[in-house]
Amino acid sequence: MIKLTHFTAKWCVPCKMMEPTIEKFLTDHPDVTYEKIDVDLKKNEARCNTDHILSMPTLIMLANDTQIWRVNHVVGARALKNAYTKAKSAEEGT
């Protein structure tokens, strides 16, 4: 299973810039599970601490619950696609 987690905040302009890229990526890759986490919500505080979220946007891609890729800034479609390719290989064990 491939999962993309997006740590964001409503006030974060770079996070908002990422949204169209992420939406397109998810449309093109329906096999990816997506989780969007608002870092400002109290209920997400422990998760942000566990994942060591220090800046936003932070994107983490997992394959079979193993972190394959992580960035702490805005990225383009190519970077997401490359991360997906790496995660897909890890998921398949190649």
pLDDT of residue 94: 62
pLDDT band at 4 (very low <50, low <70, confident <90, very high): very high
Q: What does the DSSP assignment read for 59-70?
A: EEEEETTEEEEE
**pTM for this predicted structure:** 0.92
**Domain range for residue 62?**
2-92
Count: domains in the chain? 1
CATH number at residue 41: 3.40.30.10
pLDDT of residue 93: 81
Burial zone of 87 (CB within 10 Å; 0-12 exposed, 13-18 middle, 19+ buried): buried
The predicted-structure confidence for 15-59, as pLDDT tens digits, reads as follows: 999 999 999 999 999 999 999 999 999 999 999 999 999 999 999
pLDDT of residue 64: 94
